[in-house]
Structure 1
């Protein structure tokens, strides 16, 4: 955990900033936006200040526990660097999302839509670049009955998905250049394809190897 002190600093700093700004926030804080970038959900300011930082901290702690309880725990040493990268990216992304929500509530930005339209594609690009290095385990990666049943299916599925996720991220990033009415559907379609195709691909690979 010592090497994670920048992450703890980020998480604690984000929470502290929210608590400091809470008296200035409106009673109802925008918390959800539709695909057009329009607000369609609100939360109380205390909930808005606490939820995302606590979720981020909970996810971080979960990442510490998973290697200890996974039956394939020995494999985590084979992708320890990749596991750390994934953990860092998720903490940074969720903390950035919280800052965007606070900025929106205070009127500094019009909403977190631009952050999501750029952040999600970048997240997929980064994940795609390391996905092929994830080794057989029960918690991180593309977990289907067929990838979990066969290490070869796992490896081939992740190598193929890595290219697909990078491509989806690039498509989503290009979509950020367009208005939300065009860019958001493009992003949703690209990320949906990147999520669904590997599931089907893993089944077809498994069938082929039987």
Structure 2
């Protein structure tokens, strides 16, 4: 439970900040930006102040419960450090996005087209750094039919994907510096490679083992 307290305090701080800023928010709060960093979606003051904290709370509950309901729950003890690092990074990212939204709502002009890709890119790097330590489970990691069917395929796929995700995160981080369309193209191109390559790799790794 010692590990949970910093996250609980972060969530509480988000709700307290939402309560603090709620009375001063305009009738329309920015909620979505296009690839040029221009606002193209709006929400009410209530959802502006509490939508992101509620999302963060939902993510906390979900990832808190996953190791307790997964049929392979015993595996989580073997990569608890990696799992907890991901949780910290995710909640910090969502809290950071909340701050960015509140800055925009209060008349500031944060570089959303740079800050958001940067935050997600850092999350990718953190996940990639721990990818090789993730043990086979049903909720977390690269879950393809072939990784879930074979322990060795799971291990090989995650060891291969780790450096790929770190590299994809670094490329996305560099692309984010340029902002706008460039950041979006680089980000989504890197994301596609990070998803497709491990999926295809897991299939061929499974076939190789099957044919041995």
Could you say which TM-score interval applies, normalised by the shorter chain? Answer: over 0.9
| TM-score, scaled to structure 1 | 0.95
CA distance in 2, matches of 1:113, 1:182: 10
Residue number in structure 2 paired with 1:114: 114
CA distance in 2, matches of 1:149, 1:38: 45
Q: Which aligned segments of 4 or more residues in structure 1 are displaced greater than 3 angstroms?
A: none
Instruction: Say whether the 8 Å CA contact 1:97–1:112 is kept in structure 2.
Output: no
Residue number in structure 2 paired with 1:156: 156
Residue number in structure 2 paired with 1:32: 32
- Secondary structure of 1:2's match? coil
| TM-score, scaled to structure 2 | 0.94
Residue number in structure 2 paired with 1:132: 132
- Secondary structure of 1:36's match? coil
Deviation for aligned residue 1:44: 0.9
Q: Which runs of 5+ in 2 are unaligned?
A: none
- Secondary structure of 2:52's match? helix
CA distance in 2, matches of 1:193, 1:19: 41
Structure 1 residues 15 and 111, CA gap change in structure 2 (3 angstroms): farther
What is the CA deviation profile of residues 57-102 of structure 1, one whole-angstrom value per residue up to 9, with x for unaligned ones? 1111112211111111111111111111111111111111111111
Deviation for aligned residue 1:174: 1.2
Structure 1 residues 148 and 197, CA gap change in structure 2 (3 angstroms): same
Instruction: Say whether the 8 Å CA contact 2:86–2:123 is kept in structure 1.
Output: no
CA distance in 1, matches of 2:114, 2:176: 7
The alignment yields a C-alpha RMSD, in angstroms, of 1.3
Instruction: Say whether the 8 Å CA contact 1:104–1:112 is kept in structure 2.
Output: no
Residue number in structure 1 paired with 2:9: 9
Aligned length: 210
Instruction: Say whether the 8 Å CA contact 1:28–1:43 is kept in structure 2.
Output: yes
Instruction: Say whether the 8 Å CA contact 1:157–1:198 is kept in structure 2.
Output: yes
- Secondary structure of 1:132's match? helix
Residue number in structure 2 paired with 1:167: 167
CA distance in 2, matches of 1:201, 1:166: 17
Instruction: Say whether the 8 Å CA contact 2:100–2:110 is kept in structure 1.
Output: no
Deviation for aligned residue 1:18: 1.3
- Secondary structure of 2:3's match? helix
Q: Which runs of 5+ in 1 are unaligned?
A: none
Instruction: Say whether the 8 Å CA contact 1:7–1:88 is kept in structure 2.
Output: yes
Instruction: Say whether the 8 Å CA contact 1:75–1:135 is kept in structure 2.
Output: yes
Q: Which range is displaced more, 57-66 or 176-185?
A: 176-185
Deviation for aligned residue 1:195: 1.7
Residue number in structure 1 paired with 2:97: 97
